[in-house]
Amino acid sequence: MPFEMFIGLRYLRAKRKSAMISIITFLSMAGVAVGVMALIIVLAVMTGFEEDLKEKILGTNAHIVVLKSGDGIADYASLMERLKKIKGVEAATPFIYNQVMISTGRNVSGVVLRGIDPQTDAQVTNLASTIKEGKLGDLERQPLRRNRQEPALPGLIVGKELAKNLGLFLGDPVDIVSPLGNLTPLGMIPKMRRYRVVGIFDTGMLEYDSTLAFVALKEAQSFLGLGDKVTGVQLRVTDIYRTGEIARDINRQLGFEYVARDWMQMNRNILFALKTEKMVMFIILSLIVLVAALGIASMMFMVVVEKTKAIAILKSMGATSRSIMKIFVLEGLIIGTAGTLLGVVAGIGFSLNIQAIVDFIQHLTGWTLFNPNVYYLDHFPSRVIPGDVALISLTAVLISFAATIYPAWQASRLAPAEALRYE
């Protein structure tokens, strides 16, 4: 063991007359540990929320959407075959997208009507897994009726919040009104068709659950008067983080008539907000480690004052200024590293068991931390990323190292004659 390390470890041992230094050392180490733990927990929870949000976004939306300028895509079958041959594309499905109004006779709401092909849509989106009542395949069944007295109606799948707002249940009839009606001598007359609710989905996102409704592709084409055209084609790719590159490749191959947009581009505002918030929280919580590092610096100044005689003796015995500086830098680094390791262990342990801890607190106090009806969360998401832990640990150690430089430099400049003058 180098003698600088040996002496630095000895200086960490408490004596009766330096008990205050020992207390400050412990508090500085605890401060670093708390700061590191808080950083790991907060970033793990924010990463968990981000991943949960991405799952909900991709649960209803495709990875890439291909649109055509004009009034839709006519030969979409051949376009889908071309898109499937592009590297990275796994599956494709056509869709129709239009804004309509849904009415139950008592309540009215504006919604986005999507026409989908249930067979191929299941290969691209996770809509089928979000349906809590009914099945996705019911959209393609023959027109439905609850009894012989009621007329047969095509199927419609609505979101949980939309059903709650309109008072809809499985099997209820609703009217869909499209503003794109027929032009008559009396003016524009909106189109209206009656449907029957065959499914209710729950994505966990209020924006989707309250504004989306799905019908079969052929039914949407018939109702909206599109003929054989569709609005666009949805794609599923092998790597969701390479969608930007694949979208650019699609734009190059298809030409200027088509536009491919990936899920990150369509949701860039909320993803940017989450990324910015995560960065800001990292900077703010790093101040906890900085405060702890100031405690390390204060302790180091007190150690330098206390060890003035010892420093002079070491220099008289041949120790260089570099060696003296290294002794105190190592002493501060040991404190910072030990606090960082404790914080990492505590932070990872807390993050991995945060749901159990939250459940225990709620059971003990009866207080609901997140009301599912308000926050649309049925669990407390948390995900520990090794890269985040490594960055936090490195930041804490570097801050601790920076806090030791000036006190150690002051110790290295101490002249033996000055230190021993009054001894």
Buried/exposed 220-239: b ≥16 CB within 10 Å, e otherwise: bbebbebeebbbbbbbbbee
Q: Quickly list DSSP for 107-127.
A: -EEEEEEEEE-HHHHHHH--H
pLDDT at site 3: 56
Q: How many whole angstroms separate alpha carbon 146 and alpha carbon 197?
A: 11
Higher pLDDT, 334 or 18: 334
Q: How many whole angstroms separate alpha carbon 421 and alpha carbon 423?
A: 6
Is 113 in contact with 215 (CB distance < 8 Å)?
Answer: yes
Least confident of 54-58, 90-94, 386-390: 54-58
**Paired tokens of 255:** 């030409």
pLDDT at site 329: 82
Q: How many whole angstroms separate alpha carbon 178 and alpha carbon 423?
A: 97
- 211 by Cβ neighbours in 10 Å (0-12 / 13-18 / 19+) ranks as middle
pLDDT at site 346: 92
- List helix spans (H) across 259-414: 263-266, 268-306, 308-316, 321-352, 354-365, 372-375, 386-412
pLDDT at site 183: 58
pLDDT at site 234: 92
Q: How many whole angstroms separate alpha carbon 13 and alpha carbon 138?
A: 74
Express as a percent the part of the chain with pLDDT over 90. Answer: 11
Give, in order, the Cα–Cα distances in Å from 297 to each of 14, 32, 280, 310, 332.
17, 13, 26, 19, 8
Least confident of 37-41, 68-72, 188-192, 264-268: 188-192
pTM score over 0.85:
no
Is 226 in contact with 86 (CB distance < 8 Å)?
Answer: no
pLDDT at site 264: 84
pLDDT at site 372: 60
Q: What is the DSSP letter of 73?
A: B
Taking residues 372-397, report their average pLDDT.
Answer: 80
Q: Nearest 10 degrees: CA dihedral of 406, 408, 413, 418?
A: 110
Buried/exposed 383-395: b ≥16 CB within 10 Å, e otherwise: bbeeebbeebbeb
pLDDT of 255-295, one tens digit each? 888 888 888 888 888 788 888 888 888 888 888 888 888 88
Helix (H, G, I), strand (E, B) or coil at 61: coil
Query: Over 70: is that where the pLDDT of 423 sits?
Result: no
Q: Which of 339, 258, 361, 420 is nearest to 37 (CA)?
A: 339
Query: Over 60: is that where the pLDDT of 62 sits?
Result: yes
One-letter amino acid at 31 equals G
Helix axes 19-60, 268-306, angle to 10 degrees: 170
* pLDDT band, residue 312 (cuts 50/70/90): confident
pLDDT of 157-168, one tens digit each? 999 989 998 888
> Do you know the residue count of the chain?
423
pLDDT at site 351: 87
**Rg from Cα positions in the chain:** 33
pLDDT at site 394: 92
pLDDT of 101-157, one tens digit each? 998 878 888 899 999 988 888 888 888 888 888 888 888 776 656 566 666 788 899
* pLDDT band, residue 16 (cuts 50/70/90): very low
pLDDT at site 400: 87
One-letter amino acid at 85 equals K
Q: What is the mean pLDDT of the chain?
A: 81
Express as a percent the part of the chain with pLDDT over 70. Answer: 86
Is 295 in contact with 406 (CB distance < 8 Å)?
Answer: no
